Amino acid sequence: MVECVHNNYRHHIGSHEEIMAMQAKHKVLATYSYEPTTIERGYNNRTLYISVGGEFDTSAQDPLTASVTGPNGIIIGEKAVSEDMKKKFVGGKGFDLYHLWKAVKADTQWNDACNDIVISPGPLAGITQYPGAGKSLVCCISPTTHLPVDSNVGGYFGPFLKFAGFDAIELQGKAEEELIIVIDGNKHTISVETAPEEAFDSHILGEQLTEMYADNEEDKPNISVISSGRAAENSYIGILNFTFWDKRRNCLRLKQAGRGGIGTVFRHKRIKAVVIKYSGTHANLNNPVKPGLINAAGIRLHKEMSLLDDRQNGMRHIGTANIIEVMDKYDLLPTHNYQYGMHPETPKIASKVFIEKYITQNVPDGCWYGCSMSCAKAADNFELRTGAYKGHKVCVDGPEYENAGGLGSNVGVFDPRWILEANFYCDTYGLDTISMGTMTAFAMECFQRGLYTLDDTEGLDMRWGNGYTLNELMHQMVAGDGFGMIVGKGIRHQKRIFAERFGKVAPEYEYMLQGKTWNAIPVPEEKVVLTNVINPDLDDCKYLKDENYDDKAIMESIKGTPLSNPGAANDSAFVAHPQRWEKIEGIPTISREEIADWPVGKPYYSTDPDCEYTNGRPWVKMTQEQVDYMNKFAMENKGLEYSEYLMKESLAQQGGYALCNKGAQHDEAWLIFMDMVNNQIPTFEDKAEALHYFPMFRTWFGLLGLCKLPWNDVTPLDNKYEAEPAKIPGHVRNYFDIYEGVLGERLDEASMVQQSERVYTFQRCFILRMGSGQRANDFPPVRSLGPITKEEYLSREERYDKQILDKQGIDVSGKSVEEKIQIIMDYRIDQFEQLVDAVYLRRGWTPNGTVKLEKLIELGMDIPELVQTVRPYLKAEGYWPTGEEYAKYENM
Partner 1 sequence: MIKLNNRDYPYREGLTVRSLMDENGFVFQDIVVKINGKVVRDEAWSSTVIHDEDDVQMIHIFGGG
**x/- track of binding to partner 1 for residues 656-675 (CB under 8 A):** ----------xx--xxxx--
From the list 122-130, 202-210, 709-717, 850-858, the region that binds partner 1 by CB under 8 A is 709-717
β 28-33/189-194 pair status: antiparallel
Alpha helices in 381-448 (DSSP H): 401-406, 416-429, 433-448
Is residue 803 involved in binding partner 1 (CB under 8 A)? no
- Smallest gap, in angstroms, from Cβ of residue 158 to partner 1? 20
CA–CA dist 112, 173 (Å, integer): 8
DSSP 179: E
Listed ranges 101-109, 142-150, 158-166, 722-730: which one lies at the site for partner 1 (CB under 8 A): 722-730
Per CB under 8 A, does 712 bind partner 1? Answer: yes
458-486 core/surface letters (b: 16 or more CB in 10 A; e: else): bbbbbbbbbbbbbbbbbbbbbebbbbbbb
- Residues in 398-427 at the binding interface with partner 1, rule: CB under 8 A: 401-402
**Binding-site member from 51, 120, 264, 313 for partner 1 (CB under 8 A):** 313
683 forms part of the interface with partner 1 (CB under 8 A): no
DSSP 72: G
With binding defined as CB under 8 A, does residue 720 bind partner 1? yes
- Nearest distance from C-beta of residue 378 to partner 1, angstroms: 18
> In this chain, which of 231, 728, 747, 767 binds partner 1, going by CB under 8 A?
728
What is the closest distance, in whole angstroms, from the C-beta atom of residue 324 to partner 1 in the complex? 12
326 lines the binding site for partner 1 (CB under 8 A): yes
Residue 698 Cβ vs partner 1, minimum distance, rounded to whole Å:
9
8 Å CB contact between 97 and 766: yes
- Sheet of 136-141: strand order equals 66-69, 74-80, 46-52, 168-172, 117-120, 136-141, 148-153
Question: Per-residue DSSP letters for 760-784?
Answer: HHHHHHHHHHTT--SGGGGPPPGGG
> If we measure between CA atoms, which residue out of 63, 83, 150 comes closest to residue 123?
83
> Which residue lies nearer to partner 1 by CB, 282 or 720?
720
**329 near partner 1 (CB under 8 A):** yes
Binding flag, residue 733, partner 1 (CB under 8 A): no
Chain centroid, CA 249 distance in Å:
27
**Which of 279, 300, 302, 330 touches partner 1 by CB under 8 A?**
330
Burial class (CB in 10 A: 0-12, 13-18, 19+), 96: buried
Give the strand order in the sheet containing 223-227: 28-33, 189-194, 179-184, 271-277, 223-227, 240-246, 251-257
CA distances from 508 to 452, 589, 599, 624, 671 (A): 20, 19, 11, 18, 52
- Can you tell me which of 58, 279, 312, 531 binds partner 1, judged by CB under 8 A? 312
Q: Which is nearer to partner 1, 500 or 644 (CB)?
A: 644
Q: Which stretch binds partner 1 (CB under 8 A): 312-320, 499-507, 545-553, 595-603?
A: 312-320
715 binds partner 1 (CB under 8 A): yes
- Cβ 793 to partner 1 shortest distance, Å: 21
- Stretch (H or E) spanning 500: helix 491-501
In terms of Cα–Cα distance, which of 862, 889, 861 is closest to 88?
861
User: Interface with partner 1 includes 799 (CB under 8 A)?
Assistant: no
Strands 580-581 and 640-641 come out as unpaired
| Residue 159 contacts residue 126 (beta carbons within 8 Å) | yes
User: For partner 1, which residue of 353, 379, 726, 851 counts as binding (CB under 8 A)?
Assistant: 726
The residue (of 519 and 679) whose beta carbon lies closer to partner 1 is 679
- Minimum Å distance from CB 91 to partner 1? 23
Applying CB under 8 A, which part among 223-231, 271-279, 407-415, 710-718 lies near partner 1?
Answer: 710-718
- Residue from 221, 344, 725, 729 binding partner 1 (CB under 8 A): 725
Piece in contact with partner 1 (CB under 8 A), picked from 55-63, 86-94, 416-424, 717-725: 717-725
Q: Which is nearer to partner 1, 62 or 641 (CB)?
A: 641
Among 292, 682, 744, 872, binds partner 1 (CB under 8 A): 682
Q: Is residue 311 part of the contact set for partner 1 (CB under 8 A)?
A: yes
Shortest gap between Cβ of 336 and partner 1 (angstroms)? 21
* Least separation in angstroms between CB 644 and partner 1: 8
Q: How many CB atoms lie within 10 A of CB 560?
A: 9
User: Which 736-765 residues touch partner 1, going by CB under 8 A?
Assistant: none
Give the range of 34-42, 419-427, 679-687, 753-761 binding partner 1 by CB under 8 A.
Answer: 679-687
Q: Which residue stretch of 296-304, 573-581, 630-638, 708-716 sits at the interface with partner 1 (rule: CB under 8 A)?
A: 708-716
Binding mask 621-660 for partner 1 (x = CB under 8 A): ----------------------x-x---------------
Size of the site for partner 1 (CB under 8 A): 32
CB of 679 to partner 1, least distance (A): 4
> Buried (b) or exposed (e) across 217-239, using 16+ Cβ within 10 A?
eeebbbbbbbbbbbbbbbbbbbb
As measured in angstroms, the least distance from the Cβ of 344 to partner 1 is 15
Distance CA 408, CA 764 (A): 33
Alpha-carbon distance 671 to 681, whole Å? Answer: 9
Does 606 bind partner 1 (CB under 8 A)? Our answer is: no
H/E/C letters for each residue in 786-811?
CCCCHHHHHHCHHHHHHHHHHHHCCC
Spatial distance between the Cα atoms of 670 and 655, rounded to a whole number of angstroms = 10
Measured from the Cβ of residue 809, the count of other Cβ atoms closer than 10 Å reads: 7
- Residue 71: asked if its preceding bond is cis (omega within 30°), the reply is no
Nearest-approach distance from CB 732 to partner 1, in angstroms: 12
CA distances from 4 to 65, 380, 399 (A): 52, 8, 19
CA distance 318 to 322: 6
Of the listed pieces 245-253, 343-351, 631-639, 724-732, which binds partner 1 according to CB under 8 A? Answer: 724-732
DSSP letter (8 states) at residue 82: P
How many other CB atoms sit within 10 Å of the CB of residue 564? 16
To partner 1, the closest distance from the beta carbon of 689 in angstroms equals: 16
> Which residues form the interface with partner 1 (CB under 8 A)?
311-313, 320, 326, 329-330, 401-402, 643, 645, 666-667, 670-673, 677-680, 682, 694, 711-712, 715, 719-721, 725-726, 728
